[in-house]
Chains A and B, each alone.
Chain A
């Protein structure tokens, strides 16, 4: 049992133990899960320490048989892509527990137990290196989130929970079918083995076949991202979820989709991914602008932040499908950035809700007077979210735009409009909530940050500055694994040359420039 396995299974053990705590001791449950999740976080920091480059292998690899026939292995490991996402999950779980401390007053035990189960599923998704295992964790993470929304949510919680579950499930059963097909052809679910087979030409897929497989995976991930027009579950789920649920959903769960794109879609189906890149980028850009425009007119703060997520994640997809080193680095960095800044935004909106018991922007105004520290923290988070230099989002957005400009300058132009719009809706939100005359209810109910609330938000503020200034802490590992992904996505691009739609023209040219990579007798 190595450190990674420990980080993976400790939350599960905590979940089971939390279930055994007597129902009438809510304080005990809270303390217990907080200790467990902090322990998991501290252990997971250990994962980031050995930065020795893992050439082909993975850090902390575990590879044990689980089911003999069909060959399914318990294969887990870390690389630069998954490392920071695992850390993001383990960091946000204790934070989610802290912000729910007084907020959750019924069925306390189950709430915190489900948070730990969710952590188990999320970490599992990021470390699984076997397609089947990945699918299992993918579904495991779904169930606790369904309950978090459905039991502790707001008025329309059941509708939102069912919608969330059905959307994700519909996509993922098709992904399962595609996985089984791959197994039928290759005889393995093992991700590294599949990559080797693909590179050596032992697993050769026809273009039409590859496109179908790609689409089955892509749709599952695109629903989770969510990519326009599959995003409709997201505003509902976010608005109805309790604060901790929104935070975990926005910060980590959405990353399951983008992670899947980078981890599976690009290296396993390189031709189709390049072939479809034009269309996908178009959808991503529509998402960027559409999300921003819709966010601008929202009267509800949570909905506004939810639509801003659609916009931000469009950047990630744009970066991924630019097929450039800068674009991919930016996309992965932006996944972390979005997790931190949007997570923080949801937390702050949750703080406001705990005070004023309303999510409507119109019910606020002048909050800066009674709560100066809260306003300051919100301002920093807002500025981070709109991409102010020296704060984290700037780095990610810059890299994504740079990467997309290398391929097609028009993409960059359209995407940059989204950056401007994000400043518009966020600053306007800030103005309407924090400035102006403080009404009677605001003066009466709104108070400044408590020590517990500081403890929850401070790590995120530190990370915003850290990630905006000291990018070298994070980027080298990400770049190394992205370079490998890009290399793999170049293994065979023979039919890519024919795919010349106007939008991918630049990139098709790139592909033509690399015919030497193609083994002459691949067919």
Chain B
């Protein structure tokens, strides 16, 4: 039987308390949300069928995401506004659903195509001022390779490959907090954590208070 599917891309936020969810927990929450939304989701074949979906790149526990993506296959076309309304209703106030759109079904998985991740980090730096941090950042950007440490393991990245746009350090006008925005490119080398880069900029006493992924996108798509 030739089945026709429609691939619905859901753009949502993982924020507030939900930033403490693991990738798997978030996927389970999305699956349940879709199931109770009543959308005509497609299932894989076989008796133990499950929902056909493709998640965006994983977010670690503790990191929030402003515009995360999740694709689900539908067996029927529903006008996007209708689909959005169904999802919004089922999401209650837990997971804000920003928008939905249809994308070609034959696209590859989001995790392999979407290689740019833009972040904003809130930093605490008791011992270095903005100028000192900027100097540290500039010095890092001049290096050919960056050695990032995560869970006591270090890994080298080509600076030009990893850093997609020049990172911006600033003091937030509204709350006076220190912010770092940057876009990282994942490659065969794997994805780097923005906190590891921030750790290099911050002094001994500095720390990362909050990490938010602003968006995921593809090279050439802009973020």
Interaction A to B = no
